[in-house]
Amino acid sequence: MNYLELISHVLPEIAVLVTALVLIGMGCAGGSRGGGKAVLAVTAAGLGLALAAVVFGPESGRLLEGMIVVDALTRLFKAVLLALTLGTALFLFPGGEAGGNEGRGAENSALLLLALLGLLVVVGTENLLLLFVGLELASLALYLMVVFAAPAGRPAEAALRYFFFGSVAAAFLLFGFSFIYGATGSIDLRVIAKVLAAHPVEPILPLGVGLALVGFGFKVAAVPFHLWAPDVYQSAPAPAAGFIASASKVAGFFIVAKVLVLGFGVVEGSADWGAFAMGWAPLVAVLAALSMVVGNLAALAQQSVRRLLAYSGIGHSGFILTALVAANAEAVRAVLFYSVIYGVASLAAFGVAGCVLRARGADRLEDFAGLGRTAPAAAGVLALALLSLAGLPPLVGFFGKFQLFAAALSGGTPGTVPGLLWLVALALLMSAVSLYYYLRVLKQVFFAPAPADAAPTRDTSAGTAVCLVCGSVLVLLGLFPSLVLQPLQRALVQLF
Amino acid sequence: MTETATLFLALALIPLPPLAAAAVLLFMPGRLRRPAGAIAVVAQALALFASGTVLVRVVAGGDGFREVLNFTWFQLGAETVVPLGLLVDATNAPVLLMVSLVGLLVFIYSIAYMGGDPRAVRFFCFLSFFSAAMLGLLVANSLLLLFICWELVGLASYLLIGFWFQKPAAARAARKAFIVTRIGDLGLFLGMIWLYREAGTLLFYDGGAGVLETAVLGGLAAGAAGGMTAATAIALLLFIGAAGKSGQVPFHVWLPDAMEGPTPVSALIHAATMVAAGVFLVARAYPLFEASATALSVVAWVGAATALLGACIAVAQREIKRILAYSTVSQLGFMMLSLGVGGPVAALFHLLAHAFFKALLFLGAGSVSHGCGEEKDVLRMGGLGRRMPLTFACYGIGMMALAGFPFFFSGFWSKEAILHAAQAWPVSPGPFWIALAATFLTAFYMSRQMLLVFFGRARSEAAAQAHESPRLMTAPLVILAALSVLPLVVATPAWPWFEALVRGGEAQWALSRLLAPEVWPLLAGSILLVGAGVGLAWWIYHPGRREAAGRDPLEDRLGAGHRVLAEELYWDRTYDFTVVRACRWSGRLAAALDRWIWGGAVALAAALARLFSALADRLDRRGLNHGFDLGCAGLRAGGIGLHRAHRGQLHFLLTTLGVGAVGLLLLLAWL
């Protein structure tokens, strides 16, 4: 290995980092005054370069004992993360005049890119230590993004809460990794898998995996590690919340699936009804069940739409973890597919929520009244996003959920009752519940009359464009899911 | 690009422009009525151009030309692949051209007809959507894709029949059309599932493995279940769907009511294109039907019954569009009859010819009622020939084509081909005689309509002051009139070019074939029948007669029989007394069960869920949030002392994490 090779494999990360540094420089030089168009241009250019580096870069490679991994799957997900980040950046500008963020768009954008850098590192590594570093880098940037826009008050409080939770969860994660290292003598996932396959499992290992699950549970907002999420989603600026709900969650599920299935497939155990066996599967199944029940039921009682989306996100973590319990190639494909489309739908929903928030000053359900008349495009996109989250055909959410549940039922011997039927039945029930609260929002949007004094709901053209792109992606993928499923399938074949 | 790739590009470009136009118009503000019409027309013209190139390619392709392009729609698991495909051959290429051409003309007509409607933008959106779905249906190489488009055209039909939903009759007609065709669709759906179970694929052609290819058909014809082969059962189920869409007895009841929609809709959807989808489905799946003699017999007899019943009822109707609607039912019966007796080419040609002249008649009827103050009753018209000369001329051509006037009209030759096929059917002579009777009745009721509307004296104020319609409305009439005459050259027995195109082979020009012993007696006989029909109509309705306005002279001559026909054989009322009433009672029963038994259970579950969600929310908001609010207020107030006082809250918050972790580990230990 020479340095040129190393650089060529991390070129996307380098592009993002350099862009972030340039942005910080621009911020110092006062470059983000005047609407922030220059900042947006630099951000978009940096992301475009990084995307080009992903697309035209090396197709595979494994450097420094798994610290840097490039294969079809990591490239696909790096591209997805870059696209979601670009969407977030377009939401940030030039709507950045809201809150106390005026004139500091460059710093805000730099934070976004640093968070992205962390996520790219997370996606592109099979080394537990680098994984941890990447997660921390992303988390630190996200804490700041949550608090960045507002002068004081709730966002600060939410950010602080996020920070405390994050630090403690990170401690659990690191503690868990140290046990894993103790049990297997390696922090390289591939080596760990080999060691586990060859030697009897040390009793200390499940302890390590269990502790790591606490950290991962925090990252994907699974019950009971979810308590930060509602406040953060509600208080953070809508683009930041959108980023946390989309890109950050996509990376979270990617790494959970990769670590558990690839590294610890041997100690899966079993979550089949009546035949629980020790391993991570029963733990994940419990997290999934709790998340589905608590997330979906608590969402019923919400008045704030962003808070509702937060609880719905918790519920969706439960749905996704349900499939992960099955732990085969099909399940991983379903998990990754669903996390991507969940990210797209969330980004669109938060984009519209932010637009309503700016126009009417709050995001209670009543504030969405009459949106269908005052802003038909935004209302249409919101409807697409929510109905996709609810899983109605022909939107892609239906297909994603179908894949999740089919994957969860696919394990086990043919002809017998699938062991995970209990979990899938619960998921179906909760899915039906979720339709109720999504429709509550849409009822306000389309059937309640707009208040007479409602300010016109106008979003920036960039924000509207992102919303429309997300909406069309949801429809297009619903009609032709193969557009994403086939590349994903090909990428996974290389992995397994 | 290779030739095949260009072909498929053109094929894909047929449904896409109308679809894009529909998407654009959906978001268009309602006041932009003129641009909306222009967008729809341009998109339709693009579709027409693409259809034209495809047809040219098919004609150039010669014998048995067929190209398929299959692609994966999505994949389930490792093996289950759901493919879709596009297909072009001599069966669908002419129909594609017809649909896009009639569509274009109707779109242009609609600019004038619907221009004043406040919801014209929405109207063009729906029309474009319909056109896209219909064209998609035609290019499908998969029963699944066909079924999807089939449902979409049903939806478009529902939306357009009920376009003036403020009229209760229109709303009711839309519902009726949707429900009745849905019953047929259920048959199609079941047939599709059965077919998939038997064949494992729904592609029509797939390099030897498609459902219409010999390998699969052989298997279908062999397996027997419940006294019939799988092929018979599947074909019959598909036919139920086709009968629903194409208004065959006993599903025909929705089609006359559908005339409550705007006239361009009646012309395009309920005369020329969508109602022919059922005929097209049978023609497309013809190899499957051929595998079962039983299914073909059913198709023939149902078609014959429909042809006769439709013609009988049309005799006694008074509304101008309703007469045409029953005539459509009758003509669709002719097509089905032709398919059933083994004449798919004749059926296809009649489909094309009928589309042109029936669209012409509907648009002409629209022009007539537009000209005399939205009057619809033919008995309150009269003498319009002088006041609307252009409409009169075009309508006359359409009428002669439909009635089967000899030699110069496409309808004559297509009907002749159908009669010929029916005569040659070895199973039974019944359908042939029924078809002859229907031919006679068709000539009679069309002459009746013609005489009542355009000849004699004006029988109402509005008819006396009628005026010719604007040029944007008459121009499509003229073009359609030309098309009702022109296509005849390609399908006479003297030069069977169309048959050669569909069946393969070379068409030879030979006038002598007209005088062949198996052709000319039938030719002469049907000309006599048409003459008899026209003569009878002239005898009863001749322009010089003196009768009270608003009274049909036929009423006195037929007596009670006329009443039965005018009431459309009491078909609707029978359904009301049986099917509808049974549905209503079972609905009441279900509602009672729902309210008292299931509802109670749901209410209980909902109460529990509400309790739980309130608890979860309160724990989160009051317990944690409130505590955290206090904690942060303290922090902001500054002072480590205050912080220490609230340390308990912070501890509690983070404790949840620890408790969660411990819970997980305990679970591990317990396992």
Of A152, A225, A482, the CB nearest to B660: A225
Task: Find which of A227, A233, A486 to mutate to test the B interface (most B CBs within 10 Å of its CB).
Answer: A227
Which residue of chain A is at minimal alpha-carbon distance from B82?
A: A482
Domain that holds residue A132: 3-495
The predicted structure's pLDDT at residue A214: 92
- Report which listed range, B232-236, B465-469, B537-541, B618-622, is most confident: B232-236
Minimal CA separation from B80 to chain A, in Å:
12
Distance CA B279, CA B295 (A): 14
Token match 């995307």: residue? Answer: A51
Given CB atoms, is A284 within the 8 Å cutoff of chain B?
no
Q: What is the pLDDT of residues B626-643, one digit of tens each?
A: 666 665 565 555 444 433
Size of interface A-B (CB pairs under 8 A): 108
The predicted structure's pLDDT at residue B546: 67
Which residue of chain A is at minimal alpha-carbon distance from B23?
A: A472
Q: What are phi and psi of A270, to 5 degrees?
A: -150, 140
Across the interface, whether the CB atoms of B609 and A433 are under 8 A apart is answered yes
Is it the case that residue A102 has pLDDT exceeding 60? no
The predicted structure's pLDDT at residue A424: 92
Work out the average pLDDT over B114-126: 90
Which residue of chain B is at minimal alpha-carbon distance from A436?
A: B606
Distances (CA, A) of B274 to B46, B235, B480: 20, 20, 18
ipTM strictly over 0.85?
no
Q: What are phi and psi of B75, to 5 degrees?
A: -125, 135
The predicted structure's pLDDT at residue A98: 43
Least confident window among A174-178, A418-422, A454-458, B291-295: A454-458
Is it the case that residue B108 has pLDDT exceeding 70? yes
Work out the average pLDDT over B550-565: 81
Which residue of chain A is at minimal alpha-carbon distance from B617?
A: A298
- Mean pLDDT, all residues of chain B: 86
Of B653, B661, B663, the CB nearest to A172: B661
Residue A312 and residue A389 in contact, taking contact as beta carbons nearer than 8 Å = yes
Across the interface, whether the CB atoms of B671 and A210 are under 8 A apart is answered no
Is it the case that residue A128 has pLDDT exceeding 60? yes
Work out the average pLDDT over B581-608: 88
Comparing B616 with A214, the larger pLDDT belongs to: A214
Comparing A81 with B490, the larger pLDDT belongs to: A81
Distance CA B664, CA A211 (A): 8
A 77-116 → B contacts, CB under 8 A: none
Distance CA B606, CA A436 (A): 11
A 423-442 → B contacts, CB under 8 A: 433
- The pLDDT > 70 percentage for chain B reads 93
Distance CA A484, CA A403 (A): 13
Which residue of chain B is at minimal alpha-carbon distance from A212?
A: B661
The full length of chain B comes to: 671
Of A157, A218, A330, the CB nearest to B629: A157
Is it the case that residue A99 has pLDDT exceeding 60? no
Given CB atoms, is B602 within the 8 Å cutoff of chain A?
no
The predicted structure's pLDDT at residue A349: 94
Across the interface, whether the CB atoms of B671 and A276 are under 8 A apart is answered yes
For residue A455, give both structure tokens: 């300010």
Least confident window among A392-401, A453-462, B181-190, B513-522: A453-462
Q: Residue B522: CA atoms inside 13 Å, Cβ hemisphere, count?
A: 23
Distance CA B648, CA B634 (A): 13
Distance CA B163, CA B171 (A): 8
Work out the average pLDDT over B179-207: 91
Q: CB neighbours (10 Å) of residue A376?
A: 14
Minimal CA separation from B281 to chain A, in Å:
24
Question: Model's pTM, two decimal places?
Answer: 0.77
Question: What total of structural domains would you count in chain A?
Answer: 1
Cα angle B279, B522, B499 (rounded to 5 degrees) comes to 45
Comparing B266 with A455, the larger pLDDT belongs to: B266
With cut-offs at 50, 70 and 90, classify the pLDDT of residue A237: confident
Of A172, A276, A485, the CB nearest to B74: A485
Token match 């004043």: residue? Answer: B116
- Mean pLDDT, all residues of chain A: 87
Q: List CB contacts (< 8 A) between A486 and chain B.
A: 72, 75
B377: alpha, beta or left? (left if phi > 0; alpha if psi -120 to 50): beta
Q: What is the pLDDT of residues A394-415, one digit of tens each?
A: 899 999 999 999 888 887 666 6
Q: List CB contacts (< 8 A) between B661 and chain A.
A: 172, 210-211, 214
Distance CA B443, CA A317 (A): 70
- The pLDDT > 90 percentage for chain B reads 45
The predicted structure's pLDDT at residue B102: 94
Given CB atoms, is B76 within the 8 Å cutoff of chain A?
yes
Q: What is the pLDDT of residues B7-39, one digit of tens each?
A: 888 888 899 999 999 999 988 888 888 899 999
Work out the average pLDDT over B144-163: 94
Given CB atoms, is B80 within the 8 Å cutoff of chain A?
no
For residue A470, give both structure tokens: 């997300």
Work out the average pLDDT over A355-371: 85
- Report which listed range, A85-99, A449-463, B653-667, is most confident: B653-667
With cut-offs at 50, 70 and 90, classify the pLDDT of residue B647: very low
Q: What is the pLDDT of residues B358-372, one digit of tens each?
A: 999 999 999 998 888
Is it the case that residue B645 has pLDDT exceeding 60? no
Minimal CA separation from A54 to chain B, in Å:
26
With cut-offs at 50, 70 and 90, classify the pLDDT of residue A100: very low
Distance CA B217, CA B285 (A): 11
Which residue of chain B is at minimal alpha-carbon distance from A205?
A: B668
Across the interface, whether the CB atoms of A157 and B628 are under 8 A apart is answered yes
Comparing A241 with B491, the larger pLDDT belongs to: A241
Helix or strand or coil: residue B228?
strand
Is it the case that residue B544 has pLDDT exceeding 90? no
Distances (CA, A) of B427 to B308, B423, B432: 19, 10, 11
Work out the average pLDDT over A93-100: 48
Q: What is the pLDDT of residues B400-450, one digit of tens each?
A: 999 988 878 888 888 989 999 999 999 999 999 999 999 999 999 999 999
Strand pairing partners for B71?
Answer: B84
The predicted structure's pLDDT at residue A137: 95
Distance CA A351, CA B198 (A): 48
The predicted structure's pLDDT at residue B226: 67
Is it the case that residue B340 has pLDDT exceeding 80? yes
Residue A381 and residue A393 in contact, taking contact as beta carbons nearer than 8 Å = no
Work out the average pLDDT over B389-393: 92
Minimal CA separation from A305 to chain B, in Å:
14
The predicted structure's pLDDT at residue B470: 86
